Chains A and B, each alone.
Chain A
Amino acid sequence: MNQANTARADSPMIEITGLNKWYGDFHVLRDIDLTVAQGERIVICGPSGSGKSTLIRCINHLEEHQEGRIVVNGLPMTRDVKRIEQIRRNVGMVFQHFNLFPHLSVLDNCCISQTWVQKKPRAEAERTAMEILERVQIADQARKYPGQLSGGQQQRVAIARALCMQPEVMLFDEPTSALDPEMIKEVLDVMVELAREGMTMLCVTHEMGFAKTVADRVIFMDQGQIIEQAPPETFFNHPRSERTQLFLSQILGH
């Protein structure tokens, strides 16, 4: 286990209180309060520009917030570089556009953090990488380069790359939005599998089927704030706010 892992079982995995963020004068995140328990699976949805990506990008400090407090796995977020790196070690992230390193092979993409952050011997890093690539069913492509893979395969590699850090939390930022329809399933299958293994997950996605089967809680965001949160059955069958109803009718309507 990671030495940075100082969480106690009873404490929440992520605790966000009074989070506010501005881009210049634009108020993107407004008074966000969110607590994520260990092993909880959360789906965040909402119209574009509602701040959902910004929210999860604040959790591993890809975006800097101006007000509020973020605690990840017992570690409060500060501006200290060492602390930020410590928190990032516990948080894996998957991006909409994969962001694999095109000049490194699939295997090297998976080994880079093990080599330079965890300082593992090469053989051990490769073993871990191959195990995880096996889990996302892409081990046979390990020697290839990202440019030689399909979008779905690349996204599965990206998930494997994040898992190689052995994170406590996984953040997914619209992982299927850039994929062709026939490739969405192979990525969702991996995510469902991951959820079944008990990984704490925050997913920004519009895949409502995924939300229904996997999520413990669905969060609806609009104009930079959390409008409504509920377990999936309640959320989809009895949405309370008008905005949620409108959003759901637009996305499920046809």
Chain B
Amino acid sequence: MVDTNTVTEMVAARRPPDLRRGMVGWLRANLFNTPLNGAVTIVTAVLLAMLLWPALQWAVIQADWLGNSREACSGEGACWVFISARFESIVYGFYPEAARWRVDLVFLLMAVLVAWLVIPRLPAKRWVGLFAMVAFPVIAFFLLVGGAFGLEHVPTGNWGGVMLTLTIATVGIVGSLPIGVVLALGRRSQMPLVRGFCVVFIEFWRGVPLITVLFMASVMLPLFVPTQVEFDKLLRALVGIMFFWSAYMAEVVRGGLQAVPSGQEEAAKAMGMGYWQRMGLIVLPQALKLVIPGIVNTFIALFKDTSLVLIIGLFDLLAIIRSGLTDSDWLGFATEGYVFAALVFWVFCFSMSRYSQHIERRLHTGHRN
């Protein structure tokens, strides 16, 4: 036992022993720290090489990039000429060439709005967001459909490709978010009839596959309206998609509403606010901010599922590529076609999921402080 007071001099900090440092140290710590791990590393590396190298050779090294007809394809690797030859229709569908500037303008406007909303430094997010949800759809509608302000009318049957995919995705989110908010509020209502209606509505759409909803929209909706009413095919699909996703949106928003402390609403009540003031000014802004990641994730799912319109005969990005594959001049390029479609969807979805993860991290740190 120590019975005197011992004091030690300060020891200076040292670097850790060499076995943990440098390239070799890193390899040892992360890949070869046990014999089993070493074996796993080697097997994984070999498998990866066996998979990646042929893929790389096919997609890049032996691929054909230049040309505009089938003759340009050497047959060794991928023939990306298939994509570049029909790039215009992949982007614009059957939109008349003379009017494509209108599509470009909408693309540009959309890109600016999205960039504004995503880049944190830019001001007036709320107003830009409002503009994107309300004014932008109206502007885009007149630009794309035409028939007013001297713009030539372009029927939706001519829409297609990336342009149609983005249209469906945008209408889907712009439509489903407000409906979702109303449904979420309704589900928390004190009025049994309102609550019951919202619960049934939400659970119904969440319980069935989107495909059956699209079938319903394309075969049943025309039956529901008077015979003389012409119901656009795209519009029918859009109505189905909006209702379907509003149910998912409602559940996301409900999660946000539950996360707002009840004290917030009580405080608003104490200030004499009415229901819509309490919701609109106090509860919803907080709830929606909390669930931005959930909303983005729902949007990713919605975006991926826009490809389902192929089944009811609309020509979105995927359907345009598929129809290109049945062109007798271009038989046998299925791999190139679907890999390209996968890549386009992947780039959109992956960047959105990264954004949502980023927001999530920012929200978490925001709460701690």
Binding site for B on A (CB under 8 A): 20, 22, 24-25, 27, 30-31, 37, 40, 66-67, 216-217, 223-231, 234-235, 238-241
Contact = CB atoms under 8 A, between A and B. Distances in A.
Interface string B1-44: 11111111011011111011100000000000000000000000
A41 B4 CA distance: 16
B78 to A, nearest CB: 44
A240 B11 contact: no
Contacts of A241: 7
Contact of A231 (B3, B11, B13, B20): B3
A230 B4 CA distance: 6
B5 A234 contact: yes
Contacts of B1: 37, 40, 216-217
Contacts of A24: 16
Nearest to A225: B11
A220 B218 CA distance: 77
B151 to A, nearest CB: 62
15 contacts: A24-B16, A27-B13, A30-B11, A30-B14, A66-B16, A66-B17, A66-B20, A224-B11, A225-B10, A226-B8, A227-B8, A227-B10, A228-B6, A228-B7, A239-B5
Given A25-B15, A27-B14, A229 B2 contact: yes
Contacts of B5: 228-230, 234-235, 238-240
B22 to A, nearest CB: 12
Contacts of B19: 66
A240 B6 CA distance: 8
A246 B2 CA distance: 23
Given A66-B17, A66-B20, A67-B17, A31 B2 contact: no
B64 to A, nearest CB: 48
A22 B20 contact: yes
Contact of A229 (B6, B10, B13, B14): B6
A101 B19 CA distance: 37
A67 B11 CA distance: 15
A168 B266 CA distance: 55
A240 B7 contact: yes
A223 B10 contact: yes
A238 B20 CA distance: 42
A174 to B, nearest CB: 21
A64 to B, nearest CB: 11
Given A37-B1, A40-B1, A217-B2, A227 B7 contact: yes
- Interface centre among A22, A223, A228, A234, by most chain B C-beta atoms within 10 angstroms, is A22
Contacts of A225: 8, 10-11
A199 B21 CA distance: 41
Nearest to A231: B3
Contacts of B10: 223, 225, 227
Interface in B220-270: none
Given A30-B13, A228-B5, 17 more contacts: A25-B16, A25-B21, A31-B11, A40-B1, A66-B19, A66-B20, A217-B2, A225-B8, A226-B8, A227-B7, A227-B8, A228-B8, A230-B4, A231-B3, A234-B5, A239-B5, A240-B7
A120 B338 CA distance: 62
A70 to B, nearest CB: 17
Nearest to A242: B7
A239 B166 CA distance: 73
Contacts of A37: 1
The list of the 4 closest CB pairs from A to B, nearest first, reads A230-B5, A22-B16, A27-B13, A30-B11
Contacts of A240: 5, 7
Contacts of A30: 11, 13-14
Nearest to B13: A27
B158 to A, nearest CB: 60
Contact of B16 (A27, A228, A238): A27
A81 to B, nearest CB: 11
Nearest to A21: B16
Nearest to A223: B10
A164 B5 CA distance: 36
A230 B16 contact: no
A50 to B, nearest CB: 12
A245 to B, nearest CB: 11
Nearest to A39: B1
Nearest to B3: A231
Interface string B275-298: 000000000000000000000000
